[in-house]
């Protein structure tokens, strides 16, 4: 009975790894499509000449590229954490590292999007500047919350030093 259980668990884990690979591939494809759209947006903006409108188009392309980077980083994180390392996110060290990989790219992308929105509303609709400022404040709160999480998580890591050693040994799978 126990052997049957282990065999069933291995099948499920392989199935989940396959699903993670599919999701990572879809994120990577989405990233490439967004890069293509960004390139076309930038090219179209430049085709109209070097003026304020072109600058606006280039800034919009930068925002799209930031989103593409997020999609690609998520794909990489999923592959490394769920497929290559085959880790279970349970120890404080693993949770911090896993969430940090997502949050760093998300915070950067949101900050870039906020800057893009700032440039856009300054030129198009200054009345919307308060909304963009609120968005950027929210990004700052997210960044601060992430910092608090990391700080509190390090206290938990000191209680479980073996989890930190295990997380470091899992990193060798990527070398």
Q: What is the 3-state secondary structure (H, E, C) of 89-122?
A: CCCHHHHHHHHHHHHHHHHHHHHHHHHHHHHHHH
Residues 69 and 132 in one domain: no
Residues 119 and 77 in one domain: no
Out of 52, 86, 120, pick the residue that ends a domain. Answer: 86
- Residue-level pLDDT at 41: 94
Residues 11 and 77 in one domain: yes
Range of the domain at 144: 90-175
- Flag the least confident range among 38-42, 87-91, 103-107, 130-134: 87-91
Residues 126 and 81 in one domain: no
CA 90/CA 88 separation, integer angstroms: 6
Residues 75 and 103 in one domain: no
**CB-CB contact of 113 with 66 (8 Å):** yes
Q: Does position 160 have pLDDT exceeding 80, yes or no?
A: no
Residues 103 and 72 in one domain: no
User: Can you tell me the mean pLDDT for 28-33?
Assistant: 96
Going by pLDDT thresholds of 50, 70 and 90, the confidence category of residue 81 is confident
Residues 94 and 174 in one domain: yes
Q: What percent of the chain stands above pLDDT 90?
A: 28
The verdict on pTM exceeding 0.85 is no
What are the pLDDT digits (tens) for 101-155? Answer: 778 888 888 888 888 888 888 888 888 899 999 999 999 999 999 888 888 877 7
- Residue-level pLDDT at 132: 93
Tell me which DSSP letter residue 48 carries: T
| Total structural domains within the chain | 2
CA 59 to chain centre: 20
CA 85/CA 175 separation, integer angstroms: 11
Residues 97 and 158 in one domain: yes
Higher pLDDT, 133 or 48: 133
């Amino acid at each position: 009975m126990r052997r049957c259980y282990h065999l069933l668990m291995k099948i499920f884990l392989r199935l989940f790894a396959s699903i993670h690979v599919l999701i990572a591939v879809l994120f990577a494809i989405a990233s490439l499509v967004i890069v293509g759209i960004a390139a076309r947006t930038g090219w179209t903006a430049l085709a109209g000449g070097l003026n304020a409108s072109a600058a606006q188009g280039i800034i919009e392309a930068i925002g799209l590229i930031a989103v593409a980077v997020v999609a690609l980083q998520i794909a990489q994180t999923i592959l490394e954490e769920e497929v290559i390392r085959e880790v279970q996110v349970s120890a404080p060290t693993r949770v911090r590292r896993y969430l940090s990989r997502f949050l760093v790219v998300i915070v950067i992308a949101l900050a870039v999007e906020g800057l893009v929105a700032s440039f856009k509303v300054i030129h198009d609709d200054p009345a919307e500047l308060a909304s963009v400022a609120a968005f950027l404040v929210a990004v700052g709160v997210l960044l601060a919350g992430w910092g608090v999480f990391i700080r509190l998580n390090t206290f938990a890591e000191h209680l479980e030093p073996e989890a930190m050693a295990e997380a470091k040994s899992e990193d060798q799978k990527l070398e």
